[in-house]
Amino acid sequence: MIFTETALKGAYIIDIEPRPDVRGFFSRTFCQREFAAHGLKPVIAQANVAFNRIKGTLRGMHFQCPPFPESKFVRCTRGAILDIIVDLRPESPTYLRHIEVELSADNHRALYVPERFAHGYQALEDTTETSYQMGEFYAPGDEGGLLFNDPKLGLKWPLPVTAMSDKDQAWPLLEAQEADLGRRMSLVAV
């Protein structure tokens, strides 16, 4: 696997190293030792899949606060997505900055999302499927979200939104939750 750290410390794009032959290719997509060697959390507590019927579907921007922050390892196994993550670590020099990465069944690329980041994506093709490996169990009392079109975040989605959950449309603006979010995401008692 090829690990490329993004502009957001701890977030990595992970490309496979295919070994081709007449059948196609074989490649490793996860290795606890390689993840640990790059300082990544090599734990998978849950594995999830999301199927998106129509392009333009948007999921996010989700996060889980300490004491149960989630790391995520996201791959698109069918179709294509634009994946966006936002740094929510109040002590980070890149706090509230984001990156975007296209993940597709064709490029076989994955994204490692560190703990204390918001994550969301938009399906770029019909019948798109994503696979998530989560580093922590789902803790409903510690979940949160950011509004996908919050002007303070400046996220640029490539397509008009065709489908989204009511919950994802109702997250409060960052301005209304930023003080509480900073307190909840801090690793230092405030």
Cβ atoms of 130 and 102 within 8 Å: the answer is no
**What letter does residue 39 receive in the DSSP assignment?**
T
Write down the catalytic residue from 38, 95, 108, 132. Answer: 132
Cβ atoms of 65 and 185 within 8 Å: the answer is yes
Structure tokens, 32: 């606890």
d(CA 190, CA 186): 8
Structure tokens, 118: 């918001």
Does the annotation count 132 as an active-site position? yes
Does the annotation count 119 as an active-site position? no
Cβ atoms of 142 and 162 within 8 Å: the answer is no
Write down the catalytic residue from 62, 98, 119, 121. Answer: 62
Catalytic residues: 62, 132
